[in-house]
Amino acid sequence: MATKTIMLNCAAGMSTSLLVKKMQEAAKAQGKDYEIFACPASEADNKLANQEINCVLLGPQVGYMKADFEKKLEGTGIPMGVIPMQDYGMMNGKKVLEFADSLMAE
């Protein structure tokens, strides 16, 4: 059983799948037992209702949906952030994992 679950959201779930793989590699290298997955923003409600999520990350291309996600997550205590464009573009799994960890530590 994973200790933390991180959900990445993007337009179709495709572009973030490579980033998820890089984040999983970084987590494994750090000895972290995290479940990290990507899904289209349109499926986020279903995932949030049926799965324990510890952190929600939005791809830069759906950053405009931040306010919608803040409403969805209101009162849940689940931290959420938009992945920095540079880290996303470089597919820097280690930096994005650090970003998620910083959100969960707040």
pLDDT tens digit string along 57-104?
A: 999 999 999 999 999 999 999 999 999 999 999 999 999 999 999 999
DSSP, res 82: E
Distance (Å, rounded) from C-alpha 82 to C-alpha 64? 9
pLDDT tens digit string along 23-59?
A: 999 999 999 999 999 999 999 999 999 999 999 999 9
10 is catalytic: yes
This model's pTM is above 0.75 = yes
| Residue type for position 11 | A
CB neighbours of residue 5 within 10 Å: 18
CA angle 34, 39, 45 (to 5 degrees): 100
Q: For residue 43, which of 79, 10, 19 has the smallest C-alpha distance?
A: 10
Torsion angle defined by CA atoms of residues 26, 37, 68 and 43, in that order, rounded to the nearest 10 degrees: 170
Which among 7, 10, 44, 78 is annotated as catalytic? 10
CATH superfamily of 4-105: Response regulator (3.40.50.2300)
Residue 12 — very low, low, confident or very high, per pLDDT cuts 50/70/90?
A: confident
